[in-house]
Amino acid sequence: MIWTLEWGPVVRRDLLSIPWPVAARLCAAVMRFAETSQGPVKRISPHDRQRLKLVVSGAIAYLLADERTGVLHVTRAFARI
């Protein structure tokens, strides 16, 4: 499935607080996942298919996958130490 990405206002602000090379790597991984459904993505809970986390070196993004509409909501992003 190819996902339509929706970047919320909170995650946009989150990305500004992450060093730009790390934020760029995180955004690229999110876009790659949206296009191919492949990447470092795991379910947050085995009981909730919609809530996902994507982890790259130095950062993590939280996603909400709406399979009914095909929209992948990027909700939060954080730098990881």
Q: How many domains does one find in the chain? A: 1
Task: Please give the pLDDT value at position 4.
Answer: 97
Cβ atoms of 15 and 9 within 8 Å: the answer is no
- State how beta strands 59-66 and 48-56 pair: antiparallel
Q: What is the pLDDT of residues 47-69, one digit of tens each?
A: 999 999 999 999 999 999 999 99
Q: What is the DSSP letter of 24?
A: H
| CB-count burial class (<10 Å; 0-12, 13-18, 19+) for 50 | middle
Give me the domain span that covers residue 15. Answer: 4-79
pLDDT band of residue 1 (cuts 50, 70, 90) is confident
Q: What is the pLDDT of residues 6-51, one digit of tens each?
A: 999 999 999 999 999 999 999 999 999 999 999 999 999 999 999 9
* CATH number for the domain harbouring residue 30: 3.30.2310.20
